[in-house]
Amino acid sequence: MTQELRPIKRVAISTGGGDAPGLNAVIRAAVLSGLKRGWEMYGIRDGFHGMLTPEQYPEGGIIRLTRDRVRGITHLGGTIIGTSNRNNPMRYPIVMPDGSKEEVDRTDEIVRAFALHGIDALITVGGDGSLEIGDVLAKKGLRVIAVPKTIDNDLDKTDVTFGFDSAVAFAVEGIDRLHSTAASHGRVMVVEVMGRYAGWIAVESGIAGSADIILIPEIPYDLSKVSQKIQEREQGGRFFTIVVVAEGAKPIGGKSSVVHKEAGRAERLGGIGEKVAAEIQEITGKETRVVVLGHLLRGGTPTAFDRVIALRFGAAAVRALEQGLSNVMVALDGQQMKFVPIEEAQGQMKSVPIDSDIIQTAKDLGISFCEPD
């Protein structure tokens, strides 16, 4: 955590990584709070692409954010300035003459672009990747405040990230709808949800949606326990089962299912729902269907909780700049906002503690995580 005494006139905002409900609320709060202090506010297009490839944008890679531009956007999903989860400027992929790809560091170009445009500070809104980039840029002389964003809720040092509540709410609605069709047909319904290597979405939506089985990365599952739970329900006269699977879940001794990986972006998970469904049908003989909620969890209108927390994050980021802070992340601690060094928050994934109250509550409700004895 550092302090900068230079006066602020211009502030840029970037949104990076996957989109999440509440991004526009952060932008609106930061812009209105900055304008109130007499600052000029700008948005960088598509993560840092606007800085690195401004020629690709008809109105420029950096756009002025006025009161009119942010009017009426709190309830909108997505981000009005665009985002990107590829082409990390620290590991930017370039095509070599032989057609191969090589990763280069372009963060110095971003620092020079800030100086060229006379921008005094950056508010970077994103997940762990954006935090890492923000930390590097701050150490190269930029004044940086980070706002934590991820539907996965896996960022450390903050009680919650905006977007998570909206994702869980939609997942629960989907699970609720599946109960009636599963019961009508006597089927096993497997619901795959996002979350990467943390099971927060799966756990909370599974509990709220009265799932019977929840499979998460933190607790490698035993397939025999999955079939055992289904058979126990059959013997009790309950001929359907709801299984919620986090995309990063893995069997004992196995690995998470990775469907794609390329230079400049994080590996993409997926396919575990289909795999689990196929295995259940083969072992139990029960008709099994899979529903992958996927990017439906990212889109749409943010819940009231996410709107309020996102607005608070955006306003707090501006207050941090006003206080002269740099290289810090805004974090929710109980009911208060605090500022923590970015380097303490990034690279530290917040997993679901297997001895936590929420896991014990699920077990007390009869939900199985299918761990071995």
Residues labelled catalytic = 152
DSSP 248-267: T--BTT----EEE--TTSPP
Give me the residues paired with residue 288 across strands: 188
Any idea which residue has 């040092």 for tokens? 157
Please enumerate, as own/partner, the contacts of 112-119 that have beta carbons within 8 Å and a separation of 24 or more.
113/51, 113/52, 114/12, 114/51, 114/142, 117/10, 117/12, 117/42, 117/62, 118/9, 118/10, 119/10, 119/11, 119/12, 119/42, 119/62
* 17, 19, 101, 298 from 262: Cα distances, Å: 15, 20, 10, 22
Chain center to CA of 260: 18
Say which residues have a Cβ less than 8 Å from residue 164's Cβ, sequence separation at least 6: 150, 151, 152, 153, 200, 201, 306
φ/ψ bin of 46: left (φ > 0), alpha (ψ from -120 to 50), beta (otherwise) = left
> Which of 292, 293, 312, 310 minimizes the C-alpha distance to 301?
310
Report the distance separating Cα 363 and Cα 336, nearest Å. Answer: 31
- Quick check: 240 and 175 in contact, CB under 8 A? no
Pairing type for strands 2-3 and 325-326 reads antiparallel
What is d(CA 233, CA 243) in angstroms, rounded to the nearest whole number?
13
Based on its alpha-carbon atoms, the radius of gyration of the chain, rounded to whole angstroms, reads: 22
Q: Which residues contact 233 (CB under 8 A, 6 or more apart)?
A: 212, 239, 240, 241
